[in-house]
Structure 1
Amino acid sequence: MKHLVFAVTNELNYDQRMIRICTSLAQAGYKVTLIGRRWTGSPALVPRSFQQKRLYCFFTTGKISYLEYNLRLFFYLLFKKAHAVCAIDLDTILPFYFISKLKAIPRVYDAHELFCEMKEVVNRPAVYRIWKKVEKFTVPKFKHGYTVNDAIAHEFYRLYQVQYAVIRNVPVLHPITIPEKPEKYILYQGAVNEGRSFETLIPAMKQVNARLVICGDGNFMQSAQQLVKEHALTDKVIFKGRILPAELRQYTLQAWAGVTLFENNGLNNYHSLGNRFFDYLHAGLPQLCVNYPAYREINNQHDVAVLINDLLPETIARGLNELLNNKKLYTRLQQNCLQAREAINWQQEEKKLLEFYKNII
């Protein structure tokens, strides 16, 4: 049985993309190990059809944290038999590069995003220089890889002449029934990170007659909570923190509308194709979304969202109020979501994933 090893830097229970990928490969007959970090207070691992390993690190923030995790990952992999290794984003790529060289096994790069173009990297010149050096050193040496949309794949080819496959991060197609929705709450799900436009989304809620429920955590969490206090919205903006995928699906199904907002402060956000966009779609949930190329392309085909051209509070509020009050628009978008999920789902993307690994192993 061929053994595939993957690694991320986050908490394994909440990484829906990796859960889908590893489950599909395990069901296809591969032995699969997914490695992540164990944080203080991490809940017990949810049993899966693949092996899971969490590495404990003494340091939890800053450059030393990444260095420690990468060293621990390298030495763990050194004594682990594998037939191929797959780095998830740039922050796990170095250990996999050196291990694949030492063991003469295939290496794969799974690029969820343009790592060096994230706001928290771009806006910190010293951090940007470090990660850009890592990217320039490693990515050209990872001839096998895949990413989440065509624009990011084209950018990798432009920069490093690597031809990466596109495997979109979309949910598994499950039967659903749209429930009665006594409360018209707006949902944000995903990382509460810099660049997600909380600076304008939160004040926009003063003009919207609904609650905003935020399910997630991240590097902008404290700032977002402070914004809520400053705008006197503590009863209107609710933070739920991280929620396990099964429970999160219920929050999504019960919501009235979703939001997918990214600041246009770098290629990563401009070419993004957020997980939440498809999670809302699969729950039959119309959404407010930025009018960036990947979202516009899908919306032109399926008409599932209200697209906005800027992130001003009044623009966001106007879009959300349309979803709350325009019944004809809402019903059309909801029905289009239910149709689109039949064409855009993991059962279709899974075929590309399995063909990819079949070709390199």
Structure 2
Amino acid sequence: MGKSIVFTVTTDLNHDQRMQRIAGTLANAGFSVTLVGRELPQSLPLKPANFKQHRISCIFLKGPLFYLEYNLRLIFWFLFQKFDIYGTVDADTALAGIITNFWRRKPLVFDAHELFPEMPEVTHRTWVKKVWAWLEEKAFQRSDVAYTVSGSLVHYFQKKYRAPVHLIRNMPFRKPFTPSAPPSTPYYIYQGALNVGRGLENAIAAMASVPAQLMICGDGPLADVLRQQVQDAGLQNKIIFKGNVAPDELSTLTASAYAGLMLLDNQGLSYYYSLANKFFDYVQAGIPQICVPFPEYQRLNEEHEVAVLTNNTVEEVRNALLMLLNEQQTYTRLTQNTLKAREQWNWEQEGPRLVQLYNSL
């Protein structure tokens, strides 16, 4: 057995496809991998995997006390667990990683999946932003290897912290493509967390005059607000809330969708420089998408035109939704382009670079 690696996240492991993919790939490469996440009251039993999984239950479920409690519980757990490599994922587990690295003297890897100080929930809260910025800075300073998910973030982090940062994009595994019969009523799909700045309010409002449905797969802080918006607008027959969906079922739902939604508000550099996994998930499913014209998405769409790029306003989103329904020539072209892009944008192409990074430690 190769070196042991532990990854720490604050997500529910069953729904964290990115970390499941990373942990599984490194386990297949010969590493002994442990993935540590949180256990929520509604968490389902962990699914079998080729790596170890451990969940931590907290008294506090959100806010500063949750993050503090979770990191303290991680540090205490590390007192009785030894690993060759400590993988800290994002600033929200950085405190535990930094402290453990200080006294264990083992390599620390920082996976900067998000630009935490620039997230919409943080960017206008001065003191909260300072705390996350301090943790992020210390994580970069202490790490032996750092990587992130987009070229824009690589440039940002390298310029700010004057340290090398590697690019490991968040791409799905390549899946066999089998065209599915379209449902009787076409539906657009959104997959991901129901958080501030994801464009969901505008998408729901835009659907009022679009002859299709919108399926929302995910959960989060905005769930109740969005359900109330749907009820107030009388759109219960057009907007379908699926909640958190298991990865296999999500793949099936996405492949049967008419198109995907990849909308964000420009509420901080974390979103503006992002490269969300759902962009690639839609491509791998062989469906076009409606996407914001932020730098990474523009760059990829120039390489393979798979999306209608539109600003996140109700009117522009509505126009894009209608265009895909009414202009079949455009829809067909974008669909055909996804079939070409999926051969390049997949984890089989990206994963070996991850393995190479960890082999260098």
8 Å Cα contact 2:186-2:257 kept in structure 1: yes
Task: Give the alignment of 1:150-165 within 5 angstroms.
Answer: 150-165=151-166
Q: Which runs of 4+ in 1 moved over 6 A?
A: none
Once the two structures are superposed, residues 275-300 of structure 1 have per-residue CA deviations (whole angstroms, 9 ceiling, x without a partner) of 11000000001000001110010000
Whole-angstrom distance in 1 between the partners of 2:247 and 2:199: 23
From 242, 247, 251, give the equivalent of 1:245: 247
Per the TM alignment, residue 138 of structure 1 is displaced from its structure 2 partner at its CA by 2.9
8 Å Cα contact 1:143-1:163 kept in structure 2: no
Per the TM alignment, residue 125 of structure 1 is displaced from its structure 2 partner at its CA by 2.6
1:156 is matched by which residue type in structure 2? F
2:81 is matched by which residue type in structure 1? K
Whole-angstrom distance in 1 between the partners of 2:228 and 2:142: 43
Q: How many residues align?
A: 359
Per the TM alignment, residue 126 of structure 1 is displaced from its structure 2 partner at its CA by 2.9
From 193, 203, 206, give the equivalent of 1:204: 206
Q: State the secondary structure of the residue aligned to 1:71.
A: helix
Whole-angstrom distance in 2 between the partners of 1:146 and 1:248: 27
Once the two structures are superposed, residues 109-132 of structure 1 have per-residue CA deviations (whole angstroms, 9 ceiling, x without a partner) of 101121111101113233212212
Task: Give the alignment of 1:74-223 within 5 angstroms.
Answer: 74-182=75-183, 183-223=185-225
Residue 327 of structure 1 is matched in structure 2 by 328
Whole-angstrom distance in 1 between the partners of 2:285 and 2:149: 20
8 Å Cα contact 1:143-1:162 kept in structure 2: no
1:299 is the counterpart of 2:301 = yes
From 284, 308, 328, give the equivalent of 2:286: 284
Residue 229 of structure 1 is matched in structure 2 by 231
Per the TM alignment, residue 159 of structure 1 is displaced from its structure 2 partner at its CA by 1.2
Residue 356 of structure 2 is matched in structure 1 by 355
Whole-angstrom distance in 2 between the partners of 1:160 and 1:318: 41
1:105 is matched by which residue type in structure 2? K
Per the TM alignment, residue 231 of structure 1 is displaced from its structure 2 partner at its CA by 1.9
Whole-angstrom distance in 2 between the partners of 1:229 and 1:41: 25
Whole-angstrom distance in 1 between the partners of 2:89 and 2:99: 15
1:220 is matched by which residue type in structure 2? L
Q: State the secondary structure of the residue aligned to 1:93.
A: helix
Structure 1's unaligned 5+ residue stretches are: none
8 Å Cα contact 1:149-1:294 kept in structure 2: yes
Q: State the secondary structure of the residue aligned to 1:119.
A: coil
2:153 is matched by which residue type in structure 1? I
Per the TM alignment, residue 232 of structure 1 is displaced from its structure 2 partner at its CA by 1.8
Per the TM alignment, residue 62 of structure 1 is displaced from its structure 2 partner at its CA by 1.7
> Which stretch has the larger CA shift, 124-133 or 268-277?
124-133
Residue 5 of structure 1 is matched in structure 2 by 6
Per the TM alignment, residue 158 of structure 1 is displaced from its structure 2 partner at its CA by 1.4
Once the two structures are superposed, residues 44-74 of structure 1 have per-residue CA deviations (whole angstroms, 9 ceiling, x without a partner) of 0011110000011111122111111100111
Structure 2's unaligned 5+ residue stretches are: none
Whole-angstrom distance in 2 between the partners of 1:75 and 1:161: 32
Per the TM alignment, residue 201 of structure 1 is displaced from its structure 2 partner at its CA by 1.4
Whole-angstrom distance in 2 between the partners of 1:211 and 1:171: 25
Residue 257 of structure 2 is matched in structure 1 by 255
8 Å Cα contact 1:140-1:161 kept in structure 2: no
Residue 267 of structure 1 is matched in structure 2 by 269
Whole-angstrom distance in 2 between the partners of 1:28 and 1:79: 26
Residue 42 of structure 1 is matched in structure 2 by 43
1:340 is the counterpart of 2:354 = no
8 Å Cα contact 1:204-1:317 kept in structure 2: yes
TM-score between both structures, scaled by the size of structure 2: 0.97
2:45 is matched by which residue type in structure 1? A
Per the TM alignment, residue 260 of structure 1 is displaced from its structure 2 partner at its CA by 0.1
2:127 is matched by which residue type in structure 1? A
Residue 20 of structure 1 is matched in structure 2 by 21
Whole-angstrom distance in 2 between the partners of 1:285 and 1:199: 22
When the two chains are superposed, the root-mean-square deviation of aligned CA atoms in Å is: 1.1
Whole-angstrom distance in 2 between the partners of 1:125 and 1:219: 21
1:184 is matched by which residue type in structure 2? P
Once the two structures are superposed, residues 172-222 of structure 1 have per-residue CA deviations (whole angstroms, 9 ceiling, x without a partner) of 012120101123100000111101012211111112111110000112222
Residue 53 of structure 2 is matched in structure 1 by 52
